[in-house]
Amino acid sequence: MLSKNLVSKLPEEQLDELLAYTPDFSDKNLENIKRLSLEKMNTMESPTKRRRPSMRKLAAMIAAAVLILVTSTAIFATSGGLEQFLTRFNPNFGEFAIAPINPAYAIDQGIRIEVVGAQQIDNVLLLYTIMQDISGENRITRHMWPDIEFYVDGEIMSTGGGSGSWGHFDRATNTRYSERLLLGRDDMPKADTIELVINHIICTEHSGPMIRAFEGEWIITVNASDLGIQPIVWTDVPIGNMYIEQMSLSPFGLQITGSHSYGAWGFRSHLLDISVEFENRWLNTRFSGMSGGIGENDFTLFSFANAPIDIDKVSAIIINGERIVAP
Model confidence pLDDT, tens digit, residues 246-255? 999 999 999 9
pLDDT in tens, 19-42: 444 444 444 455 555 555 555 555
Which CATH architecture is the domain 81-223 placed in? Sandwich (2.60)
Confidence of residue 225 (pLDDT cuts 50, 70, 90): confident
Average pLDDT of the residues in 229-237: 95
Average the pLDDT over 301-308 and give the result.
92
- φ, ψ for residue 44 (rounded to 5)? -80, 140
pLDDT value at position 100? Answer: 93
pLDDT for 300: 92
Q: Taking the model in full, what pTM does it have?
A: 0.73
Residue 214's Cβ-count burial label (10 Å; 0-12, 13-18, 19+) is buried
Tell me phi and psi for residue 223, to 5 degrees: -115, 150
Give me the mean pLDDT over the 102-131 stretch.
95
> What's the angle, vertex CA 127, arms to CA 151 and CA 105, rounded to 5?
75
Which CATH code, of 2.60.40, 1.10.1660, 3.20.14, 2.30.30, is assigned to 232-325?
Answer: 2.60.40
